[in-house]
Chain A
């Protein structure tokens, strides 16, 4: 188990290193010279004078290996990645990390709540379907899942807004749901939930559909196993057979998928954040792309990759905790 962990973490570090090389190559190498790199970094409105300043500040005419070292470790007065620095955003004139620090909690809140919701909905409906395959309930969940699975996120988001914000407020005069915005949990936990309910539902319902299908098939496989027959032959209650013996084994592929999906979400729930005007990482990413604001894009790419890599390691650890055959080998 210890060796397995160390190996996985080393692999993760290797992947992260490759990501930094790829990102560096994409952003800092340009055959037409440092001037066009500077223009990319400086944004659309930068003057020639500013561009020269950028070239000088970032050392863009130094050899590439030195530039990479500066990017990775940093130069005097300019911390690199390993020191937690992501460079300066010339568009807004502040460090990229500032922008990310403000955006990240919003996206995290969105991701955590939505994923808990979708996991609960997906698991519950998937298990109920698998316990009685081809029953009315099974067909019902299958249909619902298919419906939401094929529904684009923005359509669902706008629909929820239309019904729960617009119709409720204007027609029923029930101002139950706010249309937009975000309130920090530390500021007011109730308002935090209040503002997040609709975005959570949007993300959760769309993803739960996939989890309904996944947990149904995983559970169906497991319920056909010999050890389930043994559990029944022991005279356990059906509830215990399904939950203690079935779900325990069916969880493994679901957890794996969950880790990856959560990580991808942490890179930014672009559509949902747009629809509900929440300034999370996805919102910032879109804005940065519109402004051709490369330092921010670079920062988000690095953060998102780190999230995926870390999630993969965590998933492997959970996998090992769940399955003694992995843990004890």
Chain B
């Protein structure tokens, strides 16, 4: 017992990461039919990330046919070359190799979360320091929450390609926290290349980069300006330090966006080299916007557009897409002082509102939420964290049951499953809005410490 404790104390990170990886591999080995079952589950595999469709695509690709003909395959072309290098996943060796690959991705994601949490970007920024700084969890706990989250575990075994998007999004954030602007832009470009919607993270990640760069220039960031005067409503809060030393905001933004665009163009160009035509662009990226495939998923779009009359379809597609788009910049404006919070909230918006939502992305977001662990006190004390988590638990069980009743037993219908996807999204949204509340309240209490612990009314 003591020896074990000793080993754990010496290499805590290695032990936790190894346990996470081992759990994935052991689950795959002990239940050999589980990965293939999970690739069929609509909660994990959607038309734009399903592993089965990827196999279909690479089958066509290896035989010299255009995989984007026929409307089955909607995933990024680079996956074709990646998976054609690997053994056929229909056999156990290929299955194991693919699970090893996804385990590697999960370990990478957990490592990114570790370094983001280590950087302290959540509670200490250029112009703000959270009064609850001391409550932040250890980086290792954040990484462990990701590694042992049942949703990410199931997503790892179901092998949807959105796991790549998650890993690269987190990689981009961690590079942003380490002030590596170019690699952050590249990782985000790769995430957007894989699944389009991380594109919406460009403004908040840019803001995070900028904030971290300014902090670096500022140097003395153990005690940021904290007195009442610097928080006067009209003045810029960074006035206390020499702003001329900071990089200019607009040129920085343009430079960051340009880097992102160049990398994205590079990736698209590379994909074109693999394929006979540009046809993959509408097939991969328009699918996420026009929703041609209405296979059920835990998101909010499919049922709505099944019921929609064709005349209104394009209008509502526009409304839904604009709705998602409309959060990106406002979050950056409101959470200027806490850019990492803006990034995490935007990840939540994407996980909940994306057209082909899946439990893997939502699970990864829930784990990423632990980056804001200093806010948990607020949300669990004043908000509905426990009921929301209980609702998530309920919908996790009821979702597959209702899907079974609808598809297999034939005694239910589509409304059963749809109702549960609504409950699922509602629970995630409650967690999201509670986080918004806690982040704002935390910021407000930094300004007015006398309000701490008091109940608030809302105007």
Is the pairing of A and B real? no
What is the interface of chain B, defined by CB distance below 8 A to chain A? Answer: none
- Interface of A with B (CB < 8 Å)? none
